[in-house]
Amino acid sequence: MNMTIMLTFAAGAVTAGLALYVISRDPKSFASRVFAAGMALFAVEAVLSGISLQAAQAETFLAWLRVTTIVSSLLPGVWLLFSLSYGRANYGDFLNRWAVWVSAAFAVPVLLSLFLWNEWYAGWPVRVPGGSAWFLTLGWGGYFWSLAVVAGAILVLMNLERTLRHSTGNKRWQIKFMIIGVGALFGVRIYTSSLAILFNQFTTDGLVFQAGALLAADALIARSVRRTREMAIDIYLSHAFLYNSLTILLIGIYFVGVGLLAWLARYWIGTESLPLTAFLFFVAVMGLGSLLLSDHVRIRRKRAVSRLFERPLYDYRQVWSDFTQATSSLSSTRDLCNAVCRVVADTLECLSVSIWVAEEGRDTLSLGASTEHSEQRARAMKMAGREGTELMLALRDQEMPVDFMDDAEGWVRDFRQSRAEALDEAGIRYAVPLRAANRLVGILTLGGRIGDVPLTGQDRDLLKTLADQAAASLLNIRLAEHLHKARALEALQMMSAFFMHDLKNLGSKLSLVTQNLPVHFDNPEFRQDAIRSVTQSVAKINALCSRLSMLSERLEIHPRPVSLERLVSEALQAVDGMLKCPVRLVPGKTADLHVDAEQIHKVIVNLLLNAGDAVSEGGEIRIATSVSGGWAELAVSDTGCGMSRQFIETRLFKPFQTTKPKGMGIGLFHCKTIVEAHGGRIEVESEEGKGSTFRVFLPERPGGEKRGERVEGRG
């Protein structure tokens, strides 16, 4: 008896002893009984392998090989049972859900070995001269038997790996060597079976390799058995585990089908089938990539897992982890809205997600972020106008997501019928109020879902949870911005005191000039110098006082009817001669407004002066008006230096933030304050090196008539 045969018998004996030890220690445990049965099969397989190696005749070898193959056919099913029951106190329910797959793991290899044995091999076994190894060419029965063994081994490894991954602490310490040992056995089996499939050849060297691996694995398994008294360790497997398991299983079935096609091609065509086989493999890889990237297939897999295994549709722990990771470190409204839209779109498989932020003190909306709409598109949809107001009022008292295609509630049906065009234009099917601190801070809107699948109860609960957290984060950012503004105003008051100090210094300078006038009045050089000093000081004092007064005084609005055309004309007259570039009026429509003409005059003048400061020689300023959706728009554009997006988002419209060398950064802050006090808004579009456009939106006076197009120009 040579060493290889002794190795197989030794592996069988040790494995049988380990099986007896486990079953004697815990005979009532299902996992223990299955484990003992699996180890017994390994032991019998090893012994039969040794006997087959001793066969002197090919007929004897084939007889013993058939018995060995039948025993090996039972291994995938038995160990799949073990992988599903090991580490679970509630294994009964779990096995019921996997009954079909367990049955297939038993039935397919066993049937192939019992009833198709004559097709298992395609040639007479051959022994290498001077050795104990036998070689056998596989037939189509052996080919598919090997594929079935590989598929079963993959299922076993998949379940064991997930069990180890979801264990922690003492449980992991108890089971890890068991899983490593059993996993190594089936890893070796995948390797030997894959070689047989690849080369279409079976060799008994693989049996010897498996026996050696069995002897080494016994040591690891024995160590794990010593660490735990029972097999039923309760380990929870997440929804992600089941989803990934189903994915791997489907991939395995897919490639088994591809292998079947390749074998049929070789069976019918012969050796000339190689190009066709390569083509089938290429098409299979492309098809698999398409299936894995398909949103429809992904949704179907998730919902299949939820239905078949009675699991939640979402891994809430993972979803919450992703959401908090994406939003926790954000400090701006725009960034937060972008992150929330991405998470909601990815989690719920939505084609479009948008967040509309409620403007403070007004029932209007502005686009926070969207996966589909741009800011220009949002303005065109008029969500800041009447449609946005009505949507806010409709959702103000709602708690759960609203489906505008659901007729269950009468107000939803009525709202959809009255605002169907606006909802379709904005791509809104679902709307979720973002409520925090008993107030509406925004609205989360969703379009259709992939496959047009409606929201389920689980979807709505998850969406409500994410919306509540997003609302709380939005409110926190808003409060932080208020705090920052309050601190900025406090700093502003302090800076006003410093400016007053400078004014006093200028006053002292003028006092010295007046004191010296009687003495040096006859000196022409002194008079010129005095006139120059007085002129410069007065100009500086007036500029400082004008700007500081805008911040210190309380803004009072006294609205009266006035035309936008008149306001523009008066502003142009006021800046006549102060600009170093021409101003061009663009033909457009004007409207009657109900505003404080003096305050709006300041806004227009300030925007024109800012544009003039930004424009270099040869540049141009354009001013245009339009009316749309109850809003009058005034646009002041220049071809100047422009501004960066970061400056616009973080510093523009804030006091003492400016790009001008001699500016104070107060003018635009005051403009924004005036416009918002009239119930309007001011927006800016800018690109560095190409210029800027400031747009002022003011509500049109109720009952006012639109005026005709203006075509005049000013150079």
pLDDT of residue 73: 92
pLDDT of 71: 92
Task: Give 544-557 pLDDT, tens digit per residue.
Answer: 565 555 555 556 78
| CA angle centred on 526, ends 525 and 530, rounded to 5° | 120
For the ranges 359-368, 428-437, 683-692, which has the lowest average pLDDT? 359-368
* Strand-pair category, 353-358 with 201-203: unpaired
Outline where 86-204 has alpha helix (H): 91-97, 99-115, 140-165, 169-199
Q: Is pLDDT at 43 greater than 90 in this prediction?
A: yes
Q: Which residue has the tokens 């060419």?
A: 137
- Answer yes or no: are the C-beta atoms of 40 and 82 closer than 8 Å: no
- State yes or no: pLDDT of 706 exceeds 50: no
Q: Helix-strand-coil percent breakdown of the chain, rounded to 5?
A: 65, 10, 25
Q: What is the 3-state secondary structure (H, E, C) of 261-308?
A: HHHHHHHHHHHHHHHHHHHHHHHHHHHHHHHHHCHHHHHHHHHHHHHH
**What's the rounded Cα separation, in Å, for the pair 439 and 443?**
12
Helix (H, G, I), strand (E, B) or coil at 387: helix
**640 secondary structure, DSSP code:** S
Residues 471-488: what's their mean pLDDT?
77
pLDDT exceeds 80 at position 179:
yes
pLDDT tens track for 113-124 = 888 888 888 888
Q: How many CB atoms lie within 10 A of CB 207?
A: 25
Beta bridge pairs of residue 588: 710
pLDDT band at 367 (very low <50, low <70, confident <90, very high): confident
Q: Is the pLDDT of residue 191 over 50?
A: yes
pLDDT at 96 over 50: yes
Rounded to whole angstroms, how far apart are CA atoms 348 and 454?
A: 10
Per cent of the chain over pLDDT 70 is 70
Measured between alpha carbons, how far apart are the two ends of the chain, in Å? Answer: 111
For residues 684 and 505, the model is more confident at 684
E-assigned strand segments in 538-620: 560-563, 583-586, 592-595
pLDDT at 705 over 60: no
Residues of the chain with pLDDT > 90: what percent?
6
Instruction: For residue 138, give the DSSP letter.
Output: B
Q: Which residues contact 438 (CB under 8 A, 6 or more apart)?
A: none
Exposed, middle or buried: residue 597 (CB in 10 Å: 0-12, 13-18, 19+)?
middle
Confidence grade of residue 309 (pLDDT, cut at 50, 70, 90): very low
pTM of the model: 0.41
pLDDT at 74: 93
Does residue 351 carry a pLDDT above 50? yes
* pLDDT of res. 235: 47
Q: Give the mean pLDDT of 42-53.
A: 90
Query: What does the alpha-carbon distance between residue 343 and residue 470 come to, in Å, rounded to a whole number?
Result: 11
Q: What is the pLDDT of residue 707?
A: 41
For residue 402 the two structure tokens come to 């609203």
Which two tokens mark 164? 């180890």
CA-to-CA distance for 619 and 695, rounded, in angstroms? 19
CA dist 401 → 323, 325, 443 (Å): 19, 24, 10
Q: Give the confidence band of 310 by pLDDT, cuts at 50, 70, 90.
A: very low
Which one is predicted more confidently, 254 or 470?
470
Question: Could you give the CA distance from residue 354 to residue 434 in angstroms, rounded to a whole number?
Answer: 12
List pLDDT tens digits, range 554-610. Answer: 567 888 999 888 999 888 887 776 777 888 888 888 888 889 888 898 889 888 888
CA-wise closest residue to 183 among 202, 151, 159, 212? 159
Is a pLDDT exceeding 70 seen at residue 212?
yes
Average pLDDT, the chain: 76
Q: Which helix (H) or strand (E) holds 483?
A: helix 457-520
- Residues facing 697 on adjacent strands: 633, 681
Residue 572: name the closest of 619, 615, 621 by CA.
Answer: 621
By C-alpha distance, which of 263, 281, 265, 278 is closest to 122? 263
